[in-house]
Structures are given as structure tokens and as C-alpha cells.
Amino acid sequence: MVNHFLAHDLLWGMTPQRLPADAPHWVRESLGLGQPVVVRRALAEPGQVAVGVRGQSREQRYATSMPLAAVKLRVRPEDLRHVAPRRDLPALQALSRLRPLLDASGWVWGVSGSAGFELASGIKALHERSDLDLILRTPQPLDRAQAKVLLAQLDDSACAVDMQLQTPFGAVALREWAGVSQRVLLKDDLQARLVTDPWQPSLECVA
């Protein structure tokens, strides 16, 4: 199986038996309940995909890998755009308000983080102070003027909204790209580096 999974995808099929012997008890417990794992932005051995396991608290995050052959179901962030929430929380209120705006943008967008996890799995992961995490697929450049307009729209929400722009070369925070700094942090499977153009990082000189 070819690894076509992207960061923030949710995967089902990981079991406690596939964990390293020294994995914490809470990780085994979480997987024993049948919850999904989230694809991480990291390299993995051939036939594996880098994933993370969520626990009940924010501090409980465990990095591991999963055999590609074990994947039973994949849910992408963009698959969650129109899933009806089961609870009334600020992050989900913000999602409802932003949905028409983002749908009309012409870009492919999705829900990640705690909101995405809860919408996909039905497991309660959000609380009253949770941020809303979104991604925007941007195969073509989003200029900084557009980024500023979009950020202003996101910031007029019931909670903090964090959006990542997913370029062909990695991810950059919308807030950074809309800011005043000339260089922004671009994260890919190998590293995080400062670049001036997240859509053409190969054109930049290495210091």
C-alpha cells in the first residue's frame, strides 16, 4: 500500500498490540476503546505511517507509527466540514458561523485538532475554552493581502481560530503569513524552517 495519507488525517485500525512494549497505559487504554489516531507530519519506515494517539488531557499525546496494511478507515479534515455537531460549544459555534464563508472561498478547507477528532469519532474532546483548528488546502499561493482579510474574518469568532495553510511543501500558519515578518515557519515531514515563500521554498538560499 502506498502512503497517501496527509497530516491531520484520522485513521482507524491501530490496536494496543501494535504499540511498543514501553507505551504508557493510557495509550493502550485509548486504543482499546477503538479511537482513531491522527497522522503526524513526520517520516516513517516503509510500510508505516507516523501517527499520534490522543489521551483525555492535553498533555497526553503519544507519537508512534502504524502499519499501512492495518488502516481500516481514513477520515480527512475536509470530510468533516459539514458534519453536524452533537454539542453546543464555542468552537463548534465558530465552525457553524465560518462554514458558509469558507465554502464560498473556492479553497478546499477542513477541520482538524480537537474539533475534528470529536466530529469524526463522537468522543468528547472539546471544552468551553477550546480553540477551533482549521486547515486550508492551498496548492496555489494565497497572497498576503488575502491572508489578512481571511484572518480578520476568522478572528471575529466565538473562540480563537487557528488555521494552517497546507502548501505542496508543508504547512504554514495563516496568522504568520498574514503578519509583518518577512520570513515564516514552514513545517514539512523532515523539518521546520524559516522561508519567505512557502510555495517556492526550494528557490531560497540555505544559510
Distance (Å, whole) CA 64 – CA 102 = 33
At residue 33, the 3 state secondary structure works out as coil
**131 counts as catalytic:** yes
Distance (Å, whole) CA 32 – CA 53 = 12
Distance (Å, whole) CA 177 – CA 48 = 32
Specify whether the CB–CB gap between 173 and 185 falls below 8 A.
yes
Distance (Å, whole) CA 45 – CA 38 = 17
Single out the catalytic residue among 9, 88, 133, 155.
133
Q: What are phi and psi of 169, to 5 degrees?
A: -115, 5
Single out the catalytic residue among 131, 162, 188, 197.
131
**197 counts as catalytic:** no
The three cell numbers of residue 42 are 513526520
Which residues carry out catalysis? 131, 133
